[in-house]
Structure 1
Amino acid sequence: MTQSGTVSAAISYDQNVTPDVIFGSGVSNGSFTVDRNNGIELGLRGKLRHNAAGNPENTFNSNGDGTYSFDAGVAPGQSSPTAVWSFEWSINTDFDGSTGLNVGDLTYALGLDNDPSQDTSFTVFDPIFDLGGLTPPDHSFGNNSTGNGGGEETLSWFSISFFGTIGITGYNDLVADNNVAQNSWKPHWYFASFDPTVDGTYDIYLAAFDDSGAQQARTEIQIIVGNGAAADVPEPATLALMCLGLAGVGYGRQRSRRNA
């Protein structure tokens, strides 16, 4: 997905996000792949959602280069298609106090690669404004002074399913009044036809845009599951043709030298 606008600064690895992880008390900061550009900070990371005992923990399996490695398979104590891993995103529209922007002043694109092979097939949506069937979603909102686990939410996913659809006024107020939004998601909630038992690679990106549609910041990660996606190996016939082609090139060069 190519967008016009300001080119992002270099992405930084294994970073803390500003001000902290504000969803889920006890969830550690760190291991985010972050872009800080134009006063905007965007972060993504992979996370071990369920350990061998089926409990959550602060393990992120970062490889230090924007990739995160996890075992394939259904998470312990969970049912399919819940994977061992999840991904977490963070938006801060004024991380250094220079923009005065709140979350609602920009638009966003979250791209999720549905293809476990080395090819990519992205589902793209705005995680703030494309609410789907959830009214509202359970994002955590705050500002640059919000402490760990101190984010404010309109209501929980449980409340939505138990009490039914609730008015969106409170969510809109949080979007308009705060510069930080974060969440933690399991892949099968949003990845199409997701199979946690398949080895593969999944690319994820998060971008922010101003009113003109110009990209202001962008970060991206890759989740490596199991042994990752196998490299595309040419079919035997194709490989033979390639070898003949290379041989022909070599023969042509030899003739050129002889005729020189």
Structure 2
Amino acid sequence: MIRDLIKPVVLLTAGMLLSAPALAAPVNGTGLVTPDVIFGSGNANGSFTGVNTNNVELGLRGKVRYNSAGLPENTFNYDGDRTYTFSPADSNAPANRSAFNFEWSINSDVSGTGSRNLTDLTYLLQVDTDPGAGTNFESFDPINQLFADHALGNNSTANGAGVSNLLLYSAIVGNYNVAQNSWNLGFSLLFPGIVDPQAEGLYTINLSAALNGNTLASTSIDILYGVTPVPVPAALPLLAAGLGLLGYMGTRRRRQM
């Protein structure tokens, strides 16, 4: 599929889109997007971080694109919060590709009761090009483009049955309320700021939708590539409790002496 022909378009409303908090829980409480995963074939639903609010559903996830045999598989390595973890050591990826893809799903009328199509809203997708401590984003609207090979559909589109037409995209996208795609950091025209798609570290990806400059929904994920997540938040309460207990025991000993 031809993915590098989408020209990034930076939105003037980027500041407004980022003003809303990004939600980072399994979309719909299940990780399943509506109606299903409609791009390609053999792609399973599930493990999407996202939000369903204001009749807009947004989903993001990471997935193994190149396993040890160089093939894609439905492995998401999802922690159930917002983080997906992948190891280049378990992958046979080409030098110009990362081992994982990130996948996004947009539904502009998730209830099916409205008449809002994809082009009635604006969107901001931000992809972190810096796997280090900082964040440098490639930012653009993935929907309002002249050319794209997204899978398009509605709330009854079956698994893998999305419509994709690169050349007629801008003429047909307004007829649908669901768009999805699967992208790799190695797609150089989409993400020119990523010099080495196999650089290890943490990548943050944000997705927002807005109507007339007002944010309707936003979500965010982190992808850990070649590094291990550190469970600091869970460990801190135990550490504090342990130190408190030691302090209490020391005080009792001093009082008994």
TM range (shorter): 0.7 to 0.9
- Deviation of 1:45 (Å): 0.3
Conserved in 2, the CA contact under 8 Å of 1:103 and 1:179?
A: yes
**Residues 120 and 199 of structure 1, relative CA distance in 2, 3 Å threshold:** same
Q: Amino acid of the residue matched to residue 220 of structure 2?
A: E
**Aligned 1:61-72 pairs, distance under 5 A:** 61-72=77-88
| Alpha-carbon contact 2:207-2:220 (below 8 Å) kept | yes
Letter in 1 for 2:84: Y
Are the aligned partners of 1:87 and 1:185 in contact in 2 as well (CA < 8 Å)? yes
Structure 2: which amino acid aligns with 1:179? N
**Letter of the aligned partner of 1:175 in structure 2?**
V
TM-score (norm 1): 0.74
Q: Counterpart in 1 of 2:216?
A: 216
- Deviation of 1:2 after TM superposition, in Å, equals 3.8
Spell out, residue by residue over 1:23-59, the C-alpha distance to the aligned partner (whole angstroms, 9 max, x if none): 0121000000011110000000000011111111111
**Residue matched to 1:140:** 151
TM, length-normalised to structure 2 = 0.75
Q: Give the match's secondary structure for 1:176.
A: helix
Q: 1:135-172 CA deviation, whole Å, 9 max, x = no partner?
A: x22100000000000000114xxxxxxxxxx4xxx312
1:79 matched residue in structure 2: 94
Contact 2:86 2:225 survives alignment (8 Å): yes
Does residue 194 of structure 2 align to residue 193 of structure 1? yes
What's the offset of the Cα at 1:11?
Answer: 3.9
- Partners of 1:99 and 1:5 lie apart in 2 by 25
Secondary structure of the residue aligned to 1:56 is coil
| Unaligned stretches of 5+ residues in structure 2 | 1-13, 231-257
Residues 194 and 70 (structure 1), Cα distance of their counterparts in 2 relative to 1, 3 Å cut: farther
Give the aligned residue type for 1:12: A
Q: Aligned partners of 1:137 and 1:75: how far apart in 2?
A: 28
Equivalences for residues 61-140 of structure 1 within 5 A: 61-72=77-88, 75-76=91-92, 78-130=93-145, 136-140=147-151
1:154 and 2:165 correspond: yes
Residues 199 and 228 of structure 1 are in contact (CA less than 8 Å); yes or no, is this contact kept in structure 2?
A: no
Residue 46, structure 1, aligned to residue 46, structure 2: no
For the residue of structure 1 that corresponds to 2:49, the secondary structure is: strand
* Contact 1:73–1:84 (CA under 8 A) maintained in structure 2: no
> How far 1:205 sits from its partner (Å)?
0.5
1:207 aligns to 2:220 (yes or no): no
Q: Distance in 2 between matches of 1:118 and 1:98?
A: 43
Aligned to 2:44: 28
Aligned counterparts of 1:228 and 1:130: Cα–Cα separation in 2: 37
Deviation at 1:5, TM superposition (A): 9.7
Structure showing greater radius of gyration is 1
8 Å contact from structure 1 (residues 47, 61) kept in 2: yes
Matched, 1:3 2:10: no
Flag the 1:149–1:115 CA change in 2: closer, same or farther, 3 A: same
Counterpart of 1:57 in structure 2 is: 73
Which 5+ residue runs of structure 1 have no aligned equivalent? 156-165, 231-260
The change in CA–CA distance for 1:9 and 1:68 in structure 2 (over 3 A counts) is: closer
- Identity of matched residues, %: 46
